[in-house]
Amino acid sequence: MSTANAISTIETAANFSVAPRVSFPRVVRSEWRKFLSLRSLVITTGISLLIGLGLPALITFTMPSESDPSVTSHVALQASLQLQALILLAIGVLVMSTEFTKNAAITTFVTVPRRLMVFAAKALVVVGVVLANWAATVVAALGFGLLRSGNSAVTDDVAAVSGWAIVYLLFFALLGFALAAILRSSAGAITSGVGLIYVLPLPIMMLSSRFEWLGPVTEYMPLMLTNHLLTPAVFATSPVSRLTAALLLALYVAIVALIGAIFVKQRDIN
Protein backbone atom coordinates (compact mmCIF):
# COMPACT_ATOMS: atom_id res chain seq x y z
CA MET A 1 0.00 0.00 0.00
CA SER A 2 1.38 3.41 -0.98
CA THR A 3 1.75 6.25 1.47
CA ALA A 4 -1.00 8.23 -0.28
CA ASN A 5 -3.44 5.32 -0.07
CA ALA A 6 -2.64 4.77 3.58
CA ILE A 7 -3.29 8.44 4.37
CA SER A 8 -6.58 8.30 2.43
CA THR A 9 -7.70 5.22 4.36
CA ILE A 10 -6.86 6.84 7.71
CA GLU A 11 -8.76 10.02 6.76
CA THR A 12 -11.80 7.99 5.69
CA ALA A 13 -11.79 6.05 8.96
CA ALA A 14 -11.47 9.29 10.90
CA ASN A 15 -14.43 10.79 9.08
CA PHE A 16 -16.58 7.78 9.93
CA SER A 17 -15.50 7.92 13.57
CA VAL A 18 -16.68 11.50 13.96
CA ALA A 19 -19.82 11.12 11.81
CA PRO A 20 -23.11 11.51 13.69
CA ARG A 21 -24.45 8.21 14.95
CA VAL A 22 -27.56 7.02 13.15
CA SER A 23 -30.09 7.08 15.99
CA PHE A 24 -33.85 6.69 15.84
CA PRO A 25 -34.60 10.38 16.62
CA ARG A 26 -32.28 11.41 13.78
CA VAL A 27 -34.04 9.03 11.40
CA VAL A 28 -37.44 10.39 12.46
CA ARG A 29 -36.30 13.97 11.83
CA SER A 30 -34.94 12.93 8.45
CA GLU A 31 -38.27 11.32 7.53
CA TRP A 32 -40.15 14.47 8.56
CA ARG A 33 -37.87 16.58 6.36
CA LYS A 34 -38.42 14.15 3.52
CA PHE A 35 -42.19 14.33 4.08
CA LEU A 36 -42.21 18.14 4.01
CA SER A 37 -40.01 18.21 0.90
CA LEU A 38 -42.51 16.21 -1.17
CA ARG A 39 -45.06 18.61 -2.62
CA SER A 40 -47.64 15.89 -3.26
CA LEU A 41 -47.67 14.89 0.41
CA VAL A 42 -47.82 18.47 1.66
CA ILE A 43 -50.70 19.35 -0.68
CA THR A 44 -52.62 16.17 0.15
CA THR A 45 -52.19 16.79 3.89
CA GLY A 46 -53.33 20.39 3.42
CA ILE A 47 -56.47 19.22 1.63
CA SER A 48 -57.22 16.80 4.46
CA LEU A 49 -56.78 19.54 7.08
CA LEU A 50 -58.96 21.88 5.04
CA ILE A 51 -61.72 19.29 4.99
CA GLY A 52 -61.35 18.73 8.72
CA LEU A 53 -61.72 22.44 9.44
CA GLY A 54 -64.07 23.54 6.69
CA LEU A 55 -66.61 20.75 6.36
CA PRO A 56 -67.78 20.87 10.00
CA ALA A 57 -68.36 24.62 9.62
CA LEU A 58 -70.24 24.14 6.35
CA ILE A 59 -72.48 21.39 7.71
CA THR A 60 -73.07 23.03 11.07
CA PHE A 61 -74.18 26.40 9.72
CA THR A 62 -76.16 25.15 6.70
CA MET A 63 -78.35 22.61 8.50
CA PRO A 64 -81.96 23.70 9.15
CA SER A 65 -82.36 25.73 12.32
CA GLU A 66 -84.89 23.26 13.73
CA SER A 67 -82.48 20.31 13.49
CA ASP A 68 -81.03 18.82 16.65
CA PRO A 69 -77.67 20.55 17.31
CA SER A 70 -76.23 17.35 18.76
CA VAL A 71 -77.11 15.39 15.62
CA THR A 72 -75.73 18.19 13.45
CA SER A 73 -72.39 18.16 15.26
CA HIS A 74 -72.15 14.41 14.98
CA VAL A 75 -72.97 14.46 11.25
CA ALA A 76 -70.33 17.16 10.75
CA LEU A 77 -67.70 15.07 12.54
CA GLN A 78 -68.62 11.80 10.85
CA ALA A 79 -68.73 13.23 7.33
CA SER A 80 -65.36 14.91 7.79
CA LEU A 81 -63.71 11.79 9.18
CA GLN A 82 -65.01 9.57 6.40
CA LEU A 83 -63.55 11.84 3.73
CA GLN A 84 -60.29 12.28 5.61
CA ALA A 85 -59.92 8.52 6.08
CA LEU A 86 -59.54 7.94 2.35
CA ILE A 87 -57.07 10.82 2.02
CA LEU A 88 -55.04 9.55 4.97
CA LEU A 89 -54.98 6.08 3.44
CA ALA A 90 -53.38 7.66 0.36
CA ILE A 91 -50.93 9.63 2.53
CA GLY A 92 -49.92 6.45 4.37
CA VAL A 93 -49.30 4.79 1.02
CA LEU A 94 -47.27 7.70 -0.36
CA VAL A 95 -45.03 7.97 2.69
CA MET A 96 -43.73 4.47 1.96
CA SER A 97 -44.20 4.04 -1.79
CA THR A 98 -42.40 7.24 -2.84
CA GLU A 99 -39.27 5.72 -1.33
CA PHE A 100 -39.31 3.18 -4.15
CA THR A 101 -41.02 5.05 -7.00
CA LYS A 102 -38.44 7.84 -6.77
CA ASN A 103 -35.53 5.37 -6.39
CA ALA A 104 -34.63 6.92 -3.03
CA ALA A 105 -34.64 3.59 -1.20
CA ILE A 106 -31.04 2.81 -2.13
CA THR A 107 -29.77 6.05 -0.61
CA THR A 108 -32.01 5.69 2.45
CA PHE A 109 -31.04 2.11 3.28
CA VAL A 110 -27.34 2.68 2.61
CA THR A 111 -27.43 5.64 5.00
CA VAL A 112 -29.52 3.72 7.53
CA PRO A 113 -28.72 0.00 7.12
CA ARG A 114 -31.22 -0.95 9.84
CA ARG A 115 -34.27 -1.01 7.59
CA LEU A 116 -36.77 -1.61 10.36
CA MET A 117 -35.64 1.65 11.95
CA VAL A 118 -36.62 3.45 8.75
CA PHE A 119 -39.90 1.53 8.66
CA ALA A 120 -40.72 2.55 12.25
CA ALA A 121 -39.73 6.18 11.63
CA LYS A 122 -41.98 6.42 8.59
CA ALA A 123 -44.84 4.87 10.55
CA LEU A 124 -44.31 7.48 13.27
CA VAL A 125 -44.55 10.24 10.68
CA VAL A 126 -47.87 8.78 9.47
CA VAL A 127 -49.15 8.69 13.06
CA GLY A 128 -48.17 12.34 13.51
CA VAL A 129 -50.07 13.39 10.39
CA VAL A 130 -53.12 11.44 11.55
CA LEU A 131 -53.04 13.06 15.00
CA ALA A 132 -52.92 16.54 13.46
CA ASN A 133 -55.91 15.80 11.22
CA TRP A 134 -57.87 14.19 14.04
CA ALA A 135 -57.27 17.10 16.41
CA ALA A 136 -58.26 19.70 13.81
CA THR A 137 -61.47 17.87 12.91
CA VAL A 138 -62.60 17.18 16.47
CA VAL A 139 -61.90 20.75 17.60
CA ALA A 140 -63.76 22.13 14.57
CA ALA A 141 -66.81 19.88 15.06
CA LEU A 142 -67.00 20.62 18.78
CA GLY A 143 -66.26 24.34 18.40
CA PHE A 144 -68.73 25.05 15.61
CA GLY A 145 -71.37 22.93 17.32
CA LEU A 146 -70.92 24.96 20.49
CA LEU A 147 -71.07 28.24 18.58
CA ARG A 148 -74.32 27.26 16.94
CA SER A 149 -76.10 25.91 20.00
CA GLY A 150 -74.49 27.86 22.81
CA ASN A 151 -74.91 24.78 25.01
CA SER A 152 -71.93 22.55 25.72
CA ALA A 153 -74.23 19.60 26.53
CA VAL A 154 -75.06 19.08 22.84
CA THR A 155 -71.45 18.19 22.11
CA ASP A 156 -71.35 15.30 24.57
CA ASP A 157 -72.07 12.69 21.88
CA VAL A 158 -69.38 14.15 19.64
CA ALA A 159 -66.87 14.11 22.48
CA ALA A 160 -67.73 10.47 23.22
CA VAL A 161 -67.15 9.44 19.59
CA SER A 162 -64.04 11.57 19.08
CA GLY A 163 -61.91 9.29 21.23
CA TRP A 164 -62.67 6.36 18.92
CA ALA A 165 -62.18 8.52 15.84
CA ILE A 166 -58.41 8.43 16.26
CA VAL A 167 -58.51 4.62 15.95
CA TYR A 168 -60.67 5.02 12.84
CA LEU A 169 -58.19 7.32 11.10
CA LEU A 170 -55.12 5.38 12.22
CA PHE A 171 -56.56 2.19 10.77
CA PHE A 172 -56.89 3.68 7.29
CA ALA A 173 -53.53 5.46 7.29
CA LEU A 174 -51.45 2.61 8.72
CA LEU A 175 -53.19 0.01 6.55
CA GLY A 176 -52.22 2.01 3.47
CA PHE A 177 -48.68 2.40 4.80
CA ALA A 178 -48.30 -1.34 5.42
CA LEU A 179 -49.77 -2.29 2.03
CA ALA A 180 -47.32 0.06 0.32
CA ALA A 181 -44.45 -1.66 2.12
CA ILE A 182 -45.64 -4.96 0.65
CA LEU A 183 -46.55 -3.84 -2.87
CA ARG A 184 -44.14 -0.89 -3.36
CA SER A 185 -46.73 0.68 -5.64
CA SER A 186 -48.88 3.72 -4.90
CA ALA A 187 -51.73 2.74 -7.21
CA GLY A 188 -51.62 -0.90 -6.15
CA ALA A 189 -51.61 -0.14 -2.43
CA ILE A 190 -54.42 2.43 -2.62
CA THR A 191 -56.55 0.12 -4.78
CA SER A 192 -55.89 -2.83 -2.48
CA GLY A 193 -56.78 -0.80 0.61
CA VAL A 194 -60.05 0.46 -0.84
CA GLY A 195 -60.86 -3.03 -2.10
CA LEU A 196 -60.22 -4.70 1.25
CA ILE A 197 -62.32 -2.18 3.16
CA TYR A 198 -65.17 -1.30 0.81
CA VAL A 199 -65.37 -3.95 -1.93
CA LEU A 200 -64.63 -7.25 -0.20
CA PRO A 201 -67.67 -7.05 2.16
CA LEU A 202 -70.11 -6.79 -0.78
CA PRO A 203 -69.83 -10.37 -2.12
CA ILE A 204 -69.76 -11.73 1.42
CA MET A 205 -72.98 -9.87 2.24
CA MET A 206 -74.63 -11.22 -0.90
CA LEU A 207 -73.49 -14.76 -0.13
CA SER A 208 -74.73 -14.48 3.47
CA SER A 209 -78.33 -14.69 2.19
CA ARG A 210 -77.48 -18.15 0.87
CA PHE A 211 -75.05 -19.23 3.56
CA GLU A 212 -76.34 -18.10 6.94
CA TRP A 213 -73.04 -18.75 8.71
CA LEU A 214 -71.51 -15.85 6.76
CA GLY A 215 -73.90 -13.37 8.40
CA PRO A 216 -71.97 -13.02 11.66
CA VAL A 217 -68.68 -12.87 9.73
CA THR A 218 -69.62 -9.54 8.16
CA GLU A 219 -69.80 -7.92 11.60
CA TYR A 220 -66.07 -8.48 12.03
CA MET A 221 -64.98 -7.07 8.68
CA PRO A 222 -63.11 -3.73 8.63
CA LEU A 223 -65.96 -1.78 7.02
CA MET A 224 -68.44 -2.74 9.73
CA LEU A 225 -65.91 -2.26 12.52
CA THR A 226 -64.90 1.23 11.37
CA ASN A 227 -68.53 2.31 10.95
CA HIS A 228 -69.29 1.03 14.43
CA LEU A 229 -66.61 3.28 15.92
CA LEU A 230 -68.37 6.39 14.61
CA THR A 231 -71.93 5.32 15.43
CA PRO A 232 -73.46 6.92 18.54
CA ALA A 233 -74.11 4.42 21.30
CA VAL A 234 -77.88 5.02 21.16
CA PHE A 235 -77.97 3.92 17.51
CA ALA A 236 -75.53 1.02 17.77
CA THR A 237 -77.00 -2.33 16.66
CA SER A 238 -73.80 -4.35 16.24
CA PRO A 239 -73.09 -7.11 18.78
CA VAL A 240 -69.45 -6.01 18.71
CA SER A 241 -68.46 -3.42 21.31
CA ARG A 242 -66.41 -0.38 20.35
CA LEU A 243 -63.44 -1.67 22.32
CA THR A 244 -63.58 -5.01 20.54
CA ALA A 245 -63.89 -3.23 17.19
CA ALA A 246 -60.84 -1.08 17.97
CA LEU A 247 -58.79 -4.10 19.04
CA LEU A 248 -59.75 -6.07 15.92
CA LEU A 249 -58.82 -3.15 13.67
CA ALA A 250 -55.48 -2.89 15.48
CA LEU A 251 -54.97 -6.62 14.94
CA TYR A 252 -55.68 -6.31 11.20
CA VAL A 253 -53.15 -3.50 10.88
CA ALA A 254 -50.59 -5.37 12.98
CA ILE A 255 -50.79 -8.44 10.72
CA VAL A 256 -50.39 -6.45 7.51
CA ALA A 257 -47.66 -4.27 9.07
CA LEU A 258 -45.74 -7.37 10.20
CA ILE A 259 -45.78 -8.71 6.65
CA GLY A 260 -44.74 -5.29 5.37
CA ALA A 261 -41.85 -5.10 7.84
CA ILE A 262 -40.62 -8.54 6.76
CA PHE A 263 -40.75 -7.46 3.12
CA VAL A 264 -38.86 -4.25 3.84
CA LYS A 265 -36.15 -6.09 5.76
CA GLN A 266 -35.61 -9.08 3.49
CA ARG A 267 -36.48 -8.09 -0.07
CA ASP A 268 -33.99 -6.54 -2.48
CA ILE A 269 -34.21 -2.77 -2.69
CA ASN A 270 -34.69 -2.74 -6.46
pLDDT for residue 168: 95
Query: Could you read off the pLDDT of 49-86 as tens digits, one per residue?
Result: 999 999 998 988 888 777 777 778 888 889 999 999 99
pTM of the prediction?
Answer: 0.86
Element (H, E) at 74: helix 69-101
pLDDT for residue 16: 41
Cβ proximity of 132 and 49 under 8 Å: yes
pLDDT for residue 39: 92
Residue spans of the chain under pLDDT 70: 1-20, 102, 150-155, 232-237, 270
Spell out the domain ranges in the chain. 24-266
pLDDT for residue 148: 78
CA within 13 Å, CB half, 63: 20
